[in-house]
Structure 1
Amino acid sequence: MKLKLRTVPSRLASGAYILHSGLELWNGDEEQATATHGMAAAAFPFLKGVPPRRFLRLLAAGQIATGAALLAPFVPNALAGTALTGFGGSLVAFYLRAPGLRKPGSVWPSQAGIGVSKDVWLLGIGLGLLADAASERRATTGGAAEGG
């Protein structure tokens, strides 16, 4: 697996941001755990049974693992893209499901949802890494590769 220069900027930017966020969450206090868990449980009711502190630690661990995978040059784009697509997709799903983050009847954010709505870029980068990996796979197996 050869790291492609064209994927380095997006992997560095998203990986550093996500890793930093995970490290910050890892040391979060009870108040932060309760608030974060409350927002997540409002969007995904199955999370209500997870204790807030445990939820915060699991979320932090997932962010740390995703950020580290993006930053590690030996992790293939397919794996890093899968992790980031899952993480970004969950943030977009949260945005779409959480009460008050969107204008009524619209996909566009309310004032409270602007920060979360911007996480769509993580999903886009993840999908881009997956597309790059698929294109590379096609090129090495004799299929027509798109992009470059």
Structure 2
Amino acid sequence: MGISISNLALRIVSGAFILNTGIGKLNLTPEQAAGLKSSAQRVIPQVGSLEAEKFGHYLSFYEIALGAFVLTPLVPSRLAGLALGAFSAGLVATYLKTPGLTEPDSIRPTPAGTAMAKDFWLAGIAVALIFHRKRPARIG
């Protein structure tokens, strides 16, 4: 089985980043939680039924769990990639559906959208983890 150095690097970078982001959300102010909820609601309308502070706690715990999951060596890289892909799809959708983050008729970020556009790297890491193939063993 084993894990490749390239996959390990991808998992450490993305997992640690997400874990840190989740820890940083443990003590959100009500205003911060409401802002995150508003953004998420553009992609997942059902989020609107949650209280903002409760949503903030759920998001924080989800990010902590996802970061730990991606960092856990016993989790197969492909499975970690699938989990990361689902998360990054939500981030990319939020970026694309939030007014003012992209140039008109484009996916290119505006200055205000640059911070969220960088989350495309998580989608790229997810694809790399999902489709990484080990080289077949050489005989002879």
Same fold (TM over 0.5): yes
- Aligned-residue sequence identity (percent) comes to 37
Secondary structure, counterpart of 2:56 in structure 1: helix
Secondary structure, counterpart of 1:47 in structure 2: helix
| Alpha-carbon distance in structure 1 between the residues aligned to 2:108 and 2:36 | 22
1:17 counterpart letter in structure 2: F
Structure 1 residues not aligned, in runs of 5+: 141-148
Aligned to 1:26: 26
| Alpha-carbon distance in structure 2 between the residues aligned to 1:51 and 1:125 | 32
| Alpha-carbon distance in structure 2 between the residues aligned to 1:64 and 1:105 | 35
Normalized against structure 2, the TM-score is what?
0.89
Given that 2:42 and 2:94 are in contact with CA atoms closer than 8 Å, whether structure 1 keeps it comes out as: no
Quote the offset at 1:139 in angstroms: 5.5
Secondary structure, counterpart of 1:106 in structure 2: coil
Structure 1 or 2: more helix by fraction: 1
Given that 1:3 and 1:74 are in contact with CA atoms closer than 8 Å, whether structure 2 keeps it comes out as: no
Quote the offset at 1:39 in angstroms: 2.2
How many residue pairs are counted as aligned between the two chains?
137
Aligned to 1:93: 93
Structure 2 residues not aligned, in runs of 5+: none
Matches within 5 A, 1:1-148: 1-132=1-132, 135-136=133-134
Normalized against structure 1, the TM-score is what?
0.85
Indicate the RMSD between aligned Cα atoms, in angstroms.
Answer: 1.8
Secondary structure, counterpart of 1:108 in structure 2: coil
